[in-house]
């Protein structure tokens, strides 16, 4: 947990607040005392809450992100828990998201965040185990799945996000969670950027990921890192 006091807490612009992990980030961020702006698409909704502002628009549009950033009141951390939509709940089902949805959104976020009028302190983008150097430490079954199933385009898209954010010049943290499983916020193990010693089928709860990203928002410990996370 960070040592930042509530008086100095940055605002959070949360993209993906209506998703599985995003809802947990939203709930915990408000509990921790952050003011949150949630950018959600026109067709989605969130219940009004104290210290929550809701902006509607596409995470693919820099103008929508700029409008959401304009609702923040000081230093701000952008957290994205966006995920691709699929034809079924199966993570291997075909995506129904626009092509390169994640990386196009990352480009839009970077474009909006680099405007000098905003004080964006850090980008925290939720990636996945398998991205970049961590591919080598997936077990052989997961490697084959990522290479030959619908997961391939998700991985290619996440690899593109990784490059875009690293080249942006902005401070970033891009956690690479293992399979999301379980409900409770168990302690998080960071397995390094490449996920060494990950074991055969590691998992982490979405709540643990949410708490990790909020801890990383107010600590420099993970800046510039892409840690593989498990419980
Ligand atoms: N599942 C796993 O085991 C696992 C493991 C590691 C990493 N991850 C990654 O972690 C991230 C978060 O996962 P999750 O399960 O929490 O995500 P999720 O529940 O699928 O939520 C996805 C979010 O993205 C939004 N979204 C999707 N398509 C959109 C579009 N075209 N325009 C605007 N918003 C859109 C959704 O908004 P709506 O509510 O409006 O649809 C929702 O808020 C994903 O990138 C995923 O790949 C997942």
Whether 162 maps to a domain, the answer reads yes
Whether 35 maps to a domain, the answer reads yes
pTM equals: 0.96
Q: Ligand 1 atom 8: the closest Cα is on which residue?
A: 128
Q: What is the DSSP letter of 123?
A: E
Q: Which domain holds residue 124?
A: 6-221
Is residue 194 predicted with pLDDT exceeding 90? yes
pLDDT value at residue 90: 76
Q: Ligand 1 atom 24: the closest Cα is on which residue?
A: 82
Give the list of residues 6+ apart from residue 182 with CB closer than 8 angstroms, or none. 203, 204, 205, 231
Contact call for residues 64 and 48 (beta carbons, < 8 A): no
How many Cβ atoms are within 10 Å of 122's Cβ, its own excluded?
22
Distance, in Å, from the CA atom of 226 to the CA atom of 203, rounded to the nearest integer, reads 16
Is residue 91 predicted with pLDDT exceeding 70? no
Q: Is the CB of 182 under 6 A from ligand 1?
A: no
Whether 144 maps to a domain, the answer reads yes
What are the residue ranges of helices labelled H in 44-88? Answer: 62-69
Atom number, ligand 1, closest to the C-alpha of residue 41: 33
User: How many structural domains are present in the chain?
Assistant: 1
CB-count exposure of residue 61 (10 Å: 0-12, 13-18, 19+): middle
Atom number, ligand 1, closest to the C-alpha of residue 203: 3
Distance, in Å, from the CA atom of 160 to the CA atom of 132, rounded to the nearest integer, reads 9
Which phi and psi angles does 53 have, rounded to 5°?
Answer: -110, 140
pLDDT value at residue 8: 86
> What are the distances in angstroms from CA 180 to CA 21, 22, 110, 122?
9, 13, 26, 24
List the CATH number of the domain containing 174: 3.40.50.720
Which phi and psi angles does 57 have, rounded to 5°?
Answer: 165, 175
Q: Ligand 1 atom 5: the closest Cα is on which residue?
A: 179
Contact call for residues 213 and 126 (beta carbons, < 8 A): yes
pLDDT value at residue 94: 85
Q: In this structure, are strands 176-177 and 120-125 parallel, antiparallel, or unpaired?
A: unpaired
Whether 231 maps to a domain, the answer reads no
**DSSP-assigned beta bridge partners for residue 39:** 15, 55
Whether 229 maps to a domain, the answer reads no
> What are the distances in angstroms from CA 75 to CA 15, 118, 130, 212, 221?
17, 8, 32, 20, 18
Q: Ligand 1 atom 46: the closest Cα is on which residue?
A: 83
Whether 227 maps to a domain, the answer reads no
Place 4 in a pLDDT band, splitting at 50, 70 and 90: low
pLDDT value at residue 2: 46
Contact call for residues 26 and 16 (beta carbons, < 8 A): no
Whether 226 maps to a domain, the answer reads no
What mean pLDDT do residues 131-150 have? 95
Whether 228 maps to a domain, the answer reads no
pLDDT value at residue 165: 98
Place 7 in a pLDDT band, splitting at 50, 70 and 90: low
Q: Is the CB of 171 under 6 A from ligand 1?
A: no
């Amino acid at each position: 947990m960070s040592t930042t006091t509530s008086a100095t807490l940055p605002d959070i612009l949360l993209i993906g607040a209506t998703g599985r992990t995003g809802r947990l980030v939203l709930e915990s961020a408000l509990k921790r005392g952050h003011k949150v702006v949630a950018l959600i698409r026109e067709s989605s909704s969130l219940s009004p809450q104290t210290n929550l502002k809701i902006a509607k628009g596409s995470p693919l549009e820099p103008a929508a992100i700029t409008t959401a950033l304009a609702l923040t009141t000081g230093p701000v951390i952008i957290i994205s828990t966006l995920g691709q939509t699929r034809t079924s709940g199966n993570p291997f089902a075909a995506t129904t998201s626009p092509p390169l949805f994640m990386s196009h959104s990352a480009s839009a976020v970077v474009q909006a965040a680099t405007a000098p009028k905003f004080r964006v302190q850090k980008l925290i983008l939720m990636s996945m185990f398998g991205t970049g150097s961590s591919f080598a430490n997936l077990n052989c079954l997961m490697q084959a799945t990522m290479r030959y199933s619908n997961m391939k385009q998700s991985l290619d898209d996440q690899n593109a996000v990784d490059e875009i954010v690293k080249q942006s010049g902005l401070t970033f943290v891009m956690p690479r969670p293992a399979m999301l499983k379980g409900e409770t916020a168990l302690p998080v193990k960071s397995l390094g950027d490449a996920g060494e010693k990950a074991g055969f089928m590691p998992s982490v709860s979405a709540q643990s990921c949410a708490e990790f990203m909020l801890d990383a928002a107010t600590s420099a410990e993970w800046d510039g890192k892409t840690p593989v996370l498990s419980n």
